[in-house]
Amino acid sequence: MKDTEINWEKVKQQATDYLRQYLQIDTTNPPGNEIKGAQFLKRILEREGISGAIFESEPGRGNLIARLKGDGTKPPLLLLNHLDVVPVEKEKWSYPPFSGSLVNGEIWGRGALDCKSLGIAETMVLILLKRTGQHLKRDVIMAATADEEKGGTLGVGWLWNNRPEFQDIEAVINEGGGVGISRKRNNLYFCQVAEKGVCWVRIVFKGSPGHASIPREDNCILSLGRSLDIIRRYRSKVQISPVTMKFIQGFSEDEELAPIFEKLLKAPQYADEALRDIPDRGLRQLLETKIRNTFVPTVVKGGEKTNVIPSECFCEIDCRMLPGENPERIKKEIETILADIPNCSIQTIQSSAPSESSTSHELFQILGRSLTRYDPKAKLIPFISSGATDSRFFRNQGISAFGFAPLLVEGELADYQDLVHGHNERISQKNLIFGIKVLYDAVREYCT
């Protein structure tokens, strides 16, 4: 079969059927049980004559690796996706989250966006490369991994330490980007070339215990409450990284947004005012996370009994840090803003460094060209993600990784963002086949 003979309508139907079945497999993490998803993808590939192997980092925590062999002229490309999904509140969904329901051209289910649709798209890319008999100069490896939603220790982290094929690749295509928004002049697609670092901290407050019938000024619960209010109101210093500068420059032809971004660059001290002028809430939120370290309280633990003032309590803060930052600087920043809070200490729970890949890489350029073949209005621009992905494992070892699961948002970006890890997660068949076409085109060009 030649490329020109691919029946894309049949590919769309096949991919739709596969994704609906895949979404019916509950791989919620915790506990994970990703091996069921790995076995499902392995069976699909084996029917096409593509072999794969499953490796368990722990019982039930399966990781699938499949490979199409090239002639070895160039180092391999890795297509990466993860098998696990985040928990759901079933009663708040319009259609059951593990049903794979097809409603008005949309496929519903937990993982439809993050990131089982990418898993099916990358699976179909391998299949189409095999069917069309492409002569590959690179091996094309696909890895569907466990544990991404809990940090990747039992997935990519484990594979890096235990599977040699993970250490000779040249580049990675992963989740975390590819989303496009429609503007007057262009459809702007965001390719994740970097991500902020993670620094989770616990702030411990101490005070004098006693009977709650007698108020005390040194009640540690009051110190915790004051601290949360300080953190809520705090805005870290604006920092425009080189990646964020390129992101902003990507809007240079946008008549509505270019003046707002120019105002932000000229007077970063008035960033909040400039951001408020951005009409799309999703884009506003996206940009705000790119220009500051962020501090978000997520866990609070206090006393055990209503009539007892505890001697100690704590809160945990999810801090996301920009390139150039490190956990010690983040701790000092928190210490500075909480300088007037007595008897508190800060402990780092978990951290990972910011990571970045160069936009001069050949693969980044190819991704842009592939987009324009299927969307003439497309323009690819780099961005730094506020959320962490498994790409950091590779970037930290000098391997370029790009977040690119292409789809075009129809409507507000904020509405799309609310679906990821939210209720009623779904993807349209139109975007599913669009992503497969673009990825196939890019992988073929890069690997042949």
> pLDDT (tens digit, 9 = 90+) per residue, 363-380?
999 999 999 999 999 999
Residue ranges, comma separated, of all CATH 3.40.630.10 domains in the chain are 3-176+360-373+391-447
Burial of 418 (0-12, 13-18, 19+ CB in 10 A): middle
pTM: 0.93
Res 369: pLDDT = 98
Query: Dmax over Cα atoms in the chain, in whole Å?
Result: 82
SS3 sequence of 332-385? HHHHHHCCCCCCEEEEEEEEECCEECCCCCHHHHHHHHHHHHHCCCEEEEEEEE
Tell me the C-alpha distance between 322 and 349, whole Å.
Answer: 18
Interval 100-117 mean pLDDT: 98
Res 167: pLDDT = 82
From residue 91, give the alpha-carbon distance in Å to each of 31, 103, 361, 416, 427.
20, 18, 45, 20, 20
Whole-angstrom Cα Rg for the chain: 23
Which top CATH class is 3-176+360-373+391-447?
alpha beta
Which tens digit of pLDDT belongs to each residue from 241-286? 999 999 999 999 999 999 999 999 999 999 999 999 999 899 999 9
Tell me the C-alpha distance between 238 and 265, whole Å.
Answer: 10
State yes or no: pLDDT of 53 exceeds 80. yes
Which tens digit of pLDDT belongs to each residue from 388-426? 899 999 999 999 999 999 999 988 999 999 999 999 999
Residue ranges, comma separated, of all CATH 3.30.70.360 domains in the chain are 197-236+293-352
CB 407 within 8 A of CB 87: no
State yes or no: pLDDT of 1 exceeds 80. no
Tell me the C-alpha distance between 269 and 17, whole Å.
Answer: 51
| Cis? peptide before 242, omega within 30° of 0 | no
Which top CATH class is 197-236+293-352?
alpha beta
